[in-house]
Structures are given as C-alpha cells and as structure tokens.
Amino acid sequence: MDFFTGPKLLDFKNSPPHLQFNKYVLKGYRPISTYRDCLRSLFYLHNELGNIYTHGIPFICFLLFLPVNIPWAEVDEWWIGVVHYLACLSPTVCSVFYHLFMNHEGGAHIYDTLLCFDMVGVCLVNTLGALPIIYITLLCYPSSRRVAMLAYLLLSGYGVYCAVTARDNVHRLQSFAWQAFFRFVLFLLRLTGAGRGSPASLRLYLTMDALALLGGLVNISRLPERFSPGRFDYWLNSHQIMHIMVILSILYLHWGTLEDLTWLKVHHCAGE
C-alpha cells in the first residue's frame, strides 16, 4: 500500500471499542494499525487528524521559537526559563503521541498508557508553569516560598494520580481543581499587594486559566457536535476546540511569564 494512501475508515459502531468515547462523532475512525500505519495517518484525512495537528504544529513552533524568546542572559534565575520551556512543550508533545498512536494494534492497553501519558503532559504544564508564578509572587518571603512550592508539588503529584485514574473526562477535569485554586490564591495575593510580580502579568495569568477551564468545559459538554452529530466529525468538534484553547492558554502563560521576568530584572526586596 502506498504510504500516502489511507485505509478504509470506520464508523462509530465498527470502530475499536476503546475509541468509542464520543458518540456524536459518527465516522472517520482509523482501523487498528501498526506503528508504521499510525505514522502514515499523518498524511490522510481522518477524525483524529485535526487533534494531531492542532497540537503538533504549536509543538514545533514552541520547540523552535520559545528558546529565542526567553531572556536567558538577563535573568539570574535561569531555572525559571527551563521549567517554563518544558511546561509549554509538555502538553503538546504528549497529546500528539496520544492522538497519533491511539489506534495502535496493542489495543486498549496501549490506549490506556497513551491516555495516561497525555494526562501527565497536562499535569506538567499545570505544575511547571506555576512554579515561576509561585517564586515571583512570594519573592520577598523565602520561607513561605519554599513551603508553597513544596506544597504545590505535592498537590500536583496527587493531581497526576487523580487524572490518570479518572474514569471519564469530568473527573479528569476535576483532577486539576486544587491546582487551579492554589494559583487563584496566588493571584489574590498579587491583587491585594501582598504578593509580588508584574501588574501586567496578573491579567494574562487569569486569562490563561479562564481559557483552560473553558476548553475543559467545552470538551466534557461535547459541543458543538452534540447538537449536530456527524457534522463535526473531522473539524471543529469539542476536542479540537479544547486543543485550540489550550494553545491560547499556553501563550498567555508565556506572555505572563515574560512580563514577570522583565519585572524581576529591576525589582528587589527591601534590604537587598
């Protein structure tokens, strides 16, 4: 078979049982495939193609362009740039692997492993992305900063466990609630003046979390395909919309972190 020729696609009822998680997507399912055939599916239309490319293209862009956009030489805390870079990459690369190989011939076992990998990517952006926010918000309170960072890491570990053992999308979304609440407390500290950081970054971080939450709600509600089953099988279904919102959320995280890094260059705590 030619590498660029796709196999006969399946409808929902005839697709592999572990891929029957959205009953409103009626056609375009790939059959059980080898690794090579999964890779070949990058080059023909099916109902996961949009999911692959809505995170695959941003992953390549983040991989290439974020390093030159981070002011490494101007900030003493070099680790902030490293964890931020990894935070932006992790959900995109994990998602691409999940969607590309989810129909592998290994069956439900491979699918479940890939789904866990995808959830770990989401947990990493929530974890690594927040560490610079915690550090800068509590910049002048080193003891509280260490405790807060440790507490957030422990909370994130619990979130990973909840996400990879969740039974459905609703419980997966709930797995990140405590991390979101923790970040909201940090934002309140900044808003009241008890925390540090760039005034411009707060709006960007709030937008980041709002987009991520909205994307998760769209995904679990199965909108818009719920109202027109079959019409959004290939493009603009709920999962693809969530992917786009996740990318926008990562961009707002990046812009907020850049604002904080710029602020960090010229601000110091009293007595320093």
List the structure tokens of 221: 């509600």
18 is in an annotated binding site: no
* Residue 239 assigned as binding residue: yes
**Is 243 labelled as part of a ligand binding site?**
yes
* Binding-site residue positions for Zn(2+): 99, 239, 243
* Binding-site residue positions: 99, 239, 243
